[in-house]
Amino acid sequence: MKTTKDEEFRDFMTSRWPRLLRTAFLLTGGHHHDAEDLAQSTLARVYAKWDHVRGSDNIDGYVRRIMVHVHTDRHRRTRIREWITTRVPETPTADRTARLDERDVLMTALARLPARQRAAVVLCYFEDMSQSEIAAALGVGLGTAKSQVSRGLAKLRRDGALNALRPAADITARKAAR
């Protein structure tokens, strides 16, 4: 039987699915299928407690918090890992632009971060969440949240991911100057 609450959830999920899938993609270190699993598992939990979630004054923040918890739980409890490749033998590789290379370097470096640091970086720089919102989503104190973001950035720098951003920064500067 269709209920009003179900309709509300259906509308909510349909409207948020693209953004949540993209956040999940970054949280999982760029694994498409893992991202779909994460987004779906998160929204299943959201639906299970929809009465509570819909009453929240910050539904999207609440859902991000659930997503981070689901993500860390999955690896703590079941150690499910999945990745997908499109590498087909003897298929010529298409030329890549410098921009694509930069994204690849960044995604590889992001995947190497511990899950919590990766989550902190993604919530800060992709979701544009405040430090206190990140702390709430990670279930840690403000100082720990700041430290996770800072350490994540430092590791990205050590991994060369942020060095690779220099040319991109130049491009952005040139764009702005035009």
Partner 1 sequence: MNEEHDVLRELLDESATRVTVGSAPVEATMHRGRVLRGRRRAAQVAAAVAAVCALGFGVGIGLGSTDTERGAAASPPATPWLPRPMPPPEPVVVEPEQRVDLGHGVTVRLTADGEYATGSTPGSDLVKSVMGDNFAVGSVSFGAFGHTATILYVGAYRGEPPAARITVTVAGSVLDAQILTLAGDPGWSVYYVEGPSPQPTEKAGSPAPATSVDVYARDGRRLATSAAPPTNNQP
Per CB under 8 A, which of residues 129..148 are in contact with partner 1?
A: none
- Under rule CB under 8 A, residue 165 binds partner 1: yes
Identity of the residue, 11 or 132, whose beta carbon is nearer to partner 1 in the bound complex: 11
For partner 1 (CB under 8 A), the number of binding residues is 71
Q: Which two tokens stand for residue 84?
A: 């997908």
Identity of the residue, 58 or 99, whose beta carbon is nearer to partner 1 in the bound complex: 99
- Under rule CB under 8 A, residue 49 binds partner 1: yes
> d(Cα 50, Cα 62) in Å, to the nearest integer?
11
- Under rule CB under 8 A, residue 125 binds partner 1: yes
Map the footprint of partner 1 across residues 51-80, applying CB under 8 A: 71-72, 75-76, 78-80
For residue 107, give the amino acid letter: M
**CB of 58: closest distance to partner 1 in angstroms?**
20
60-83: burial string, b at 16+ Cβ within 10 Å, e else:
ebbbbbbbbbbbbebeeeeeeeee
Listed residue (112, 99, 109, 111) closest to 171, CA to CA: 99
Query: By the 8 A CB rule, do 4 and 50 touch?
Result: no
**CB of 138: closest distance to partner 1 in angstroms?**
10
Map the footprint of partner 1 across residues 14-43, applying CB under 8 A: 14, 17-18, 21-23, 25-26, 28-33, 35-37, 40-41, 43
Query: By the 8 A CB rule, do 42 and 72 touch?
Result: no
